[in-house]
Amino acid sequence: MSIPPHTSDDTPAESQEFVLQEPLGSVLVRLAARLFDAALMLLAVLAGIPLPDSGRIAILVAVPILYETIMVAMCGRTVGKMVMGLHVVRRRDGGRPELLPSLARGAPAGILAAGPVFAAIVMLLCILPMVGDTRLQRSLQDRIARTVVVQRQRPWAARSTTEPARGAS
């Protein structure tokens, strides 16, 4: 899929000649990756040592933000995105995002400590731009961080069981 490099919300620095050559991650695949990551983070928080209420709130805020930020900055994807074959890339050149854009993408994940209703509203507000952006399918976080999510491999669930394993003859 070839995508023109310039959109109305791109800054002049983003409107260089780079053209994205990879297919975009679909909304449903991205949602599945997010749910997988949420389950992992919930397990990490529940497996923690008993803490007072203020400690639990701090963990509920810190774990999701740190998880998303560190994984995207170091690997270009979280475990959920790995399972679903997704990668987060810089819009301007297709490279892996640096630490600050990764933090911009990860910050909304810390809202879970605010309660399920508030978290659902914020996540909906983050996702709506993705649904409305038929060209690049960028969420609010993607727009702020100047990233896009691409599908580099098929999701594990969609892989054929008849495909030979790597290294098998």
pLDDT digits over 70-122, tens only? 999 999 999 999 999 999 999 889 999 999 999 998 888 777 666 677 777 87
* Reported confidence tier of residue 4, pLDDT bands at 50, 70, 90: very low
Nearest of 149, 160, 154 to residue 72 by alpha carbon: 149
Q: SS3 breakdown of the chain: % helix, strand, coil, rounded to 5? A: 55, 10, 40
Q: What is the pLDDT of residue 113?
A: 64
At 96, list the tokens.
Answer: 């892996």
Structure confidence by residue, pLDDT tens digits, 26-61: 888 988 998 898 888 878 777 766 777 777 777 778
Q: How far apart are CA 13 and CA 84, in angstroms?
A: 30
pTM of the model: 0.73
CB-CB neighbours of 91 under 10 Å = 24
pLDDT at 24 over 80: yes
